[in-house]
Amino acid sequence: MSGTLRRWIWLGPLLATMLFPFAWMTAVSLAPVADLSLGLPASGGLTLEHYRALFRTAAVSRYLVNSGVVALLVVGLNVATAAMVGYVLGRRRVPGERLWTLGIVATLMLPKQVLMIPLYLVLARLHLLDTYAALVLPFAVDAFSIFLVRQYVSGIPLELEEAARVDGASDWRVFRSVILPLLKPVLAVVAIQSFLTNWNSFLFPLIFVDSDRLRTLPVGLALLSQTEHSVDWSFLMAGSTVASIPVLAVFLVFQRQILSGLLAGAEK
Amino acid sequence: MRAQSPATSWGLLSPWIVAFALFGLYPFAFSLWASVTDYSPIRAGTQFVGLANYGRALADPAFWTALANTAFFVVGTIPFTTALALGLALAVQPAFPGRTFFRVGFFVPSVVSVVVLSLIFKGLYAGQGPVNAALRALGLSAPDWLLDPETALPAIMAMDVWSASGYYMIIFLAGLEAIPRELYEAARLEGASAWDRFTRITLPLLRPTLLFVLVVNTVRSLQIFAEVFVMTRGGPLHRTTTVVYYLYEQAFYRFDLGYASAVAYLLFAVTLGLAWAQMRLVRSEEPTR
């Protein structure tokens, strides 16, 4: 037991230090008067005034809605396409199966920044720049998600599908009624990971969208912090807190799946 | 038994085919082509310029500054991040009450948006911010962290070490879990000290994980962008301009897309080269038996 106590005595302060920036963020967002040097209420009391101001600002509410809509669309499409493609590559025979898998691995290796400019040009050519589609379509099919499902499918016994086929089930029925229910755990990992990535995404939404009404929350906050006027820290920290709550909630609820998805990545 | 129809296979595969062609292969090919032309969407008439864009980058002091800043960032953060991550992993590996609490807690910075982290640290580093308040309380001098050319980049690097270590802690944990318990017990029976067990068992068997962490973290660090965008915009005096920030400026302020494509490929080459060198380095140190 003394070992536990010793561990807590040095890990506790270390964790507190690591989480101090978040405590500071929350404190500034709740303080009536921002006192940057302490980040604590200068003259007692907490206020939600900065949050009210945040949601009263039409632009910021819009960023929040955009972030939510885009994240939901990307997660939905990601889960659907990863299930379809991952199943085919993990199980069914398609000509050039190895080639397709190679394409996926190559995509995983390529830093996204190499494709930043060409993706921008492709979207320009498709007249999709500065639309919701630019925030969704390039991220609707994700190589890493497909890879996760493909690995998972290889571990599912073939007999289950064959039994259904013997009973005369069609391809579609096998996929929908046999495979999809079995894929639930890995699809949960895909959904959570793609939510976290997409909600926090910055570089591509910054480049692909120009109008204020299409901006997502991270881009909106980053640009808000760079106005010519003096920075309103209370407002920014309230916005930062709002931007953090969904990911923190998802993380705390699904920490098991998140960490297991991470480890799957580490083993690839 | 009903046979599988190839049409279904193609149908299920179709999202990947479309996405790979449209958002993978085509842009890749296009950017390779753009990198050997003077392509710009705001100007008509594109000329083939051969390797001139690559030569221009290699002759541009601003590119070298960006590369040097990025290299400084990588070299200055990775040892600290790796050591901190490994230390945390070792601390939270054994079973003890509250273990999950600490694992989850240390991971928190990894799930929050980099923009949010950067905004917070911009506040922490501000002239009147808590970092300087603490320094003044200790009677030390309080620099203007992000406005001083000497301290701006190290300040961003310190934030990176803080924000990245929890993620690599989890990767190290996976590596530690894979080491057979019996090895430690055998060593203990033979009277090996904790330090001996760490250097003779843990470190050698952790080598693949260490390699993975080094490569992944290097590749990630070569792409630092949002921190710079939010905290310093590449300043002061270009002291925080990283390669990707430079790339962004060339492409989206100056619309010099051919040139920027060449810079992207140079960064890609540097990334591959470093990853390869690290793999060689860690492999060659492997004990030969």
Each residue's pLDDT tens digit, A137-187? 999 999 999 999 998 998 888 888 888 888 888 888 888 999 999 999 999
pLDDT at A43 over 70: no
CATH number where B191 lies:
1.10.3720.10
User: Given CB atoms, is B22 within the 8 Å cutoff of chain A?
Assistant: yes
The answer to whether the beta carbons of residues B143 and B59 sit under 8 Å apart is no
The answer to whether the Cβ–Cβ distance between A116 and B251 falls below 8 Å is yes
On whether residue B274 sits in a domain, the answer given is yes
On whether residue A79 sits in a domain, the answer given is yes
User: Given CB atoms, is B93 within the 8 Å cutoff of chain A?
Assistant: no
Q: What's the ipTM?
A: 0.91
Which one has a higher pLDDT value, A165 or A70?
A70
To the nearest whole Å, the CA of A258 is away from the closest chain B CA by: 10
Q: Residue B37 phi/psi, 5° resolution?
A: -130, 175
Q: In chain A, which residues have their Cβ closer than 8 Å to the Cβ of B23?
A: 115, 119, 122, 137-138, 141
Q: Residue B39 phi/psi, 5° resolution?
A: -55, 135
On whether residue B131 sits in a domain, the answer given is yes
Q: Give chain B's domain count.
A: 1
On whether residue A125 sits in a domain, the answer given is yes
On whether residue B9 sits in a domain, the answer given is no
On whether residue B58 sits in a domain, the answer given is yes
Q: Give chain A's domain count.
A: 1
Residue in chain B nearest A84 by alpha carbon? B12
Residue where the block lists tokens 């003044």: B136
Q: Measured between alpha carbons, how far is A54 from A47 in angstroms, rounded to an integer?
A: 13
CA A236 to chain centroid: 21
On whether residue A168 sits in a domain, the answer given is yes
The pLDDT score that the predictor gives to residue B288 is 45
Residue in chain A nearest B18 by alpha carbon? A141
On whether residue B135 sits in a domain, the answer given is yes
To the nearest whole Å, the CA of B229 is away from the closest chain A CA by: 8
Grade residue A232 by pLDDT with cuts at 50, 70 and 90.
confident
On whether residue A221 sits in a domain, the answer given is yes
- Which residues constitute the domain of residue A88? 58-267
The answer to whether the beta carbons of residues B224 and B234 sit under 8 Å apart is no
The pLDDT score that the predictor gives to residue A255 is 86
**Dihedral (Cα; B124, B128, B131, B132), 10-degree rounding:** 150
To the nearest whole Å, the CA of B150 is away from the closest chain A CA by: 22
Task: Supply the DSSP string of A10-66, one letter for each residue.
Answer: HHHHHHHHHHHHHHHHHHHHH-SS--TTT-S-TTS----HHHHHHHHSHHHHHHHHH
Rounded to the nearest 10 degrees, the angle between the axes of helix A112-125 and helix B243-252 is: 10
On whether residue B34 sits in a domain, the answer given is no
The answer to whether the beta carbons of residues B146 and B152 sit under 8 Å apart is yes
pLDDT in tens, chain B (289 residues): 566 778 888 888 999 999 999 988 888 888 888 888 888 777 777 888 889 899 999 999 999 999 999 999 999 999 999 999 999 999 999 888 988 899 999 999 999 999 999 999 999 998 888 899 889 889 998 899 999 999 999 999 999 999 999 999 999 998 998 899 899 989 988 888 889 999 999 999 999 899 889 988 998 999 999 999 999 999 899 999 999 999 999 999 888 888 998 999 999 898 888 888 887 876 666 554 4
Q: What is the pTM of this model?
A: 0.91
The answer to whether the Cβ–Cβ distance between A38 and B130 falls below 8 Å is yes
Which segment of A68-77, A136-145, A153-162, A210-219 scores lowest on mean pLDDT?
A153-162
A100, A169, A196 member nearest B111 (Cβ) = A196
Q: Measured between alpha carbons, how far is A30 from A52 in angstroms, rounded to an integer?
A: 11
- Which residues constitute the domain of residue B272? 51-284
On whether residue A5 sits in a domain, the answer given is no
pLDDT at A222 over 70: yes
Residue in chain A nearest B232 by alpha carbon? A226
Which segment of A55-64, A114-123, B33-42 scores lowest on mean pLDDT?
B33-42
On whether residue A13 sits in a domain, the answer given is no
Q: Measured between alpha carbons, how far is B105 from A18 in angstroms, rounded to an integer?
A: 9
* Mean pLDDT value of segment A43-69: 89
pLDDT at A267 over 60: no
On whether residue A167 sits in a domain, the answer given is yes
User: Given CB atoms, is B269 within the 8 Å cutoff of chain A?
Assistant: no
CATH number where A150 lies:
1.10.3720.10
User: Given CB atoms, is B21 within the 8 Å cutoff of chain A?
Assistant: no
On whether residue A12 sits in a domain, the answer given is no
On whether residue B272 sits in a domain, the answer given is yes
Residue in chain A nearest B260 by alpha carbon? A117
